[in-house]
Every structure is written in C-alpha cells, then in structure tokens.
C-alpha cells in the first residue's frame, strides 16, 4: 500500500505540472472523477495499522469463528475503499455523458469540490487519530488490561446467568417434589377415608 501511495503522489504531481504547462487539458468531468476517486482513496489510507499490531490482533482473534476477518478488519476496509476510489475515478472518466453525472458535475463546482476535499481531509485526520490511539493502547498494554476486564465482566455475567438458571431448575424441582408429595399424601389418605 505504501508503494501505491507513492505512485499516486507521482501521478497527480505529474498531472498537475502538465496541466500548468498546458500539455494536458482536464475538463470538469475529469476533475470531478479524479477528485471524488482521490478523496475515497485518501480515506482508505487512514485504516492502515503497523504489522506488529496486525499480528497481535491476529493472535487475539485466531480462535474465534471469523478470526481472520476480525484480525484483518482494517486491511479489508482499506483495500475496499482503495479499489472503490479507483473504480469511481475510472467510471466517471470513461463513461459516456450522462444526465446524472452532468447534474452532479454542475452541483460539484470547483468551490464545492475544494470544500468537500477539506471535509474529507479532516475526516481522514479523525480516523487517523482513532487508529493512533488504538495503536498506542496496544503498545502501552492498556488494550490487554481492558481485554482482561471485559473477560472478567463476561465471566461474571455468565456465572450470574448460570446461577439464575440453576435457581430456576431448583425451584421447578421443588415444586414438582411438592406436587408429588401431595399426590402421595392423597393416596395414603384414601384408605383412611374408606374406613
């Protein structure tokens, strides 16, 4: 993913230079497609985690039902957004003129695209901050402590649930025993009534 990001920087830098020098004419539709695609791709880069953190997550989740998916959740989201960005970019660039796209381009003028880019940029920063905090928690051991606390809470809940279940079973057995005793008492009393 790092090489892909470097390639993207080079491609867009070259396009910018060629556009400044009037070697390439980029129309509104091209700007719209490139901007929207690049914004989606920029969000995808925020979900990247260091390899050692990914390994830790894999170790924690490998015994669960969807362990592989849970361990690589960030990578999956990142790659989905990355490829969606490219697909959107190329669809808008190469699709024939369409009323929907034309209407969108009219609404998304340069000012709107710049504002959207700033919004997405700050959103990317927020996502990056969340990931940074998560990484820090892994490195400082806060995550391990939190996992232990959650495991204890879960164990306590299960124990409480088991106790309630056992109480219900005991109560049911007690009631059945009372009914059985009453029946036996009635049977024992019948000959006495006959006498």
* Tens digits of residue pLDDT in 152-178: 888 888 888 888 888 888 888 888 888
State the pLDDT at residue 53: 63
Asked whether residue 108 falls in the same domain as residue 155, the answer is: no
Asked whether residue 96 falls in the same domain as residue 186, the answer is: no
pTM of the model: 0.47
| 76-81: long-range pairs with CB below 8 Å, 24+ | 77/44, 77/47, 78/1, 78/44, 78/45, 78/47, 78/48, 79/44, 80/44, 81/40, 81/41, 81/43, 81/44, 81/47
What is the distance between the alpha carbons of residues 16 and 9, in angstroms, rounded to a whole number?
Answer: 10
Range of the domain at 69: 2-140
Asked whether residue 43 falls in the same domain as residue 108, the answer is: yes
């Amino acid at each position: 993913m790092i090489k892909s990001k470097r390639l993207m920087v080079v491609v867009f830098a070259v396009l910018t230079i060629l556009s400044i020098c009037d070697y390439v004419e980029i129309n509104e539709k091209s700007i719209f497609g490139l901007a929207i695609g690049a914004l989606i791709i920029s969000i995808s880069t925020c979900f990247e985690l260091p390899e050692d953190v990914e390994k830790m997550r894999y170790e924690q989740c490998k015994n669960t039902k969807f362990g592989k998916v849970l361990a690589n959740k960030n990578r999956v989201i990142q790659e989905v957004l990355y490829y969606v960005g490219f697909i959107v970019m190329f669809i808008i660039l190469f699709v024939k003129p369409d009323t929907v796209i034309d209407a969108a381009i009219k609404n998304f003028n340069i000012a709107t695209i710049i504002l959207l880019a700033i919004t997405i940029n700050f959103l990317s920063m927020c996502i990056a901050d969340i990931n940074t905090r998560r990484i820090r928690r892994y490195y400082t051991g806060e995550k391990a402590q939190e996992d232990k606390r959650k495991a204890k809470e879960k164990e306590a809940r299960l124990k409480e649930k088991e106790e309630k279940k056992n109480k219900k079973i005991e109560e049911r057995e007690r009631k059945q025993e009372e009914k059985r005793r009453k029946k036996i008492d009635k049977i024992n009393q019948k000959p006495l009534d006959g006498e």
